[in-house]
């Protein structure tokens, strides 16, 4: 990763922040992107204090035209883009027949359209140099039905399908595209689902009434667990891997 230029969306917290740090610690120069300006500045400042060359770019990945601006700004500040990590995401809970239009649209705009727009902008510069790698952080919910998570699951499934198709089209240009699918990870998103102190135990145990399996490894993932998988797929150690999904969920989907 030494001297590579990486762009990470959703970098103000959670998995995105962990990915940005993991890349920076391995010598990459990192452009951190998020719409949460205070959080973004806090994470970027922390990286800079540790000697990482990091820049903050405030943007909403779902907004029209933002992706092209973000990639252009990142390349202007750090140099030609080598890696893109699509880690920005939102969770809008609700029964499939109870969701309102706003919840559905926000889920698709950020989790799917944001991936499309950022990947398209990154791909256009990567193909000119016949090198690069893109990793989309999706979810194990993309392939496993979850009660109350229809919008989230659908949007993540769309992101997975798009990333694989993009990988097929870019393979001849030397650009690899892969997916990391986390399960329950200790992030603000997961904690927002916990109603009380029993939340972590309920996550580990699962919920038979909702047809939800717990976590066989009996631990909730840390963001670093997911970041390590992302870094691997971006690195030269994965140079012959493309269009694949690496699930990081402690066995919650039983290997499916």
Which residues in the chain belong to E strands, given as ranges? 5-9, 29-34, 54-58, 83-86, 132-137, 175-182, 206-207, 212-213, 245-248
In a domain, residue 255? The reply is no
pLDDT given for residue 195 in this prediction: 81
In a domain, residue 206? The reply is no
Q: Is 240 exposed, middle or buried (0-12, 13-18, 19+ CB in 10 A)?
A: exposed
For residues 72 and 118, the answer to whether their CB atoms sit within 8 Å is no
The residue range of the domain holding 62 is 5-185+223-248
What are the average pLDDT values for consecutive 10-residue runs of the chain, which has 256 residues? 95 98 98 97 97 97 94 98 98 95 97 98 97 98 95 98 98 98 93 85 91 94 98 98 98 92
pLDDT given for residue 64 in this prediction: 85
Q: How many domains does the chain have?
A: 1
DSSP for residue 197:
T
Which residues are marked as active site?
A: 152
For residues 186 and 248, the answer to whether their CB atoms sit within 8 Å is no
DSSP for residue 185:
B
Helix axis angle for 150-170 and 114-126, nearest 10°, is 10
In a domain, residue 94? The reply is yes
Tokens coding 48 = 């800079």
* Domain CATH number, residue 179: 3.40.50.720
In a domain, residue 217? The reply is no
DSSP string for residues in 92-136: --B-TTT--HHHHHHHHIIIIIHHHHHHHHHHHHHTTTT-EEEEE
Supply the pTM of this predicted model: 0.96
In a domain, residue 87? The reply is yes
In a domain, residue 210? The reply is no
């Amino acid at each position: 990763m030494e001297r590579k230029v990486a762009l990470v969306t959703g970098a103000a917290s959670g998995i995105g922040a962990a990915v940005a740090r993991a890349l920076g610690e391995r010598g990459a120069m990192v452009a951190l992107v998020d719409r949460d300006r205070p959080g973004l500045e806090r994470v970027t400042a922390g990286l800079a204090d540790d000697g990482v060359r990091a820049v903050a770019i405030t943007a909403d990945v779902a907004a029209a035209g933002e992706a092209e601006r973000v990639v252009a700004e990142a390349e202007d500040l750090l140099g030609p883009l080598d890696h893109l990590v699509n880690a920005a995401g939102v969770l809008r809970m609700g029964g499939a027949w109870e969701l309102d239009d706003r919840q559905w649209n926000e889920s698709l705009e950020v989790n799917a359209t944001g991936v499309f727009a950022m990947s398209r902008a990154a791909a256009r510069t990567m193909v000119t140099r016949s090198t690069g790698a893109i990793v989309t952080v999706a979810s194990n919910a993309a392939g496993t039905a979850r009660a109350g998570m229809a919008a989230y699951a659908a949007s993540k499934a769309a992101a997975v399908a798009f990333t694989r198709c993009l990988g097929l089209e870019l393979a001849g240009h030397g650009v690899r595209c892969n997916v990391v699918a986390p399960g329950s990870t200790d992030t603000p998103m997961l904690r927002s689902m916990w109603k009380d102190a029993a939340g972590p135990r309920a996550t580990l145990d699962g919920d038979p009434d909702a047809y939800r399996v717990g976590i066989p490894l009996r631990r909730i993932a840390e963001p670093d667990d997911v970041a390590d998988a992302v870094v691997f797929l971006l690195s030269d150690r994965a140079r012959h891997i493309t269009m694949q999904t690496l699930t990081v969920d402690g066995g919650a989907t039983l290997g499916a």
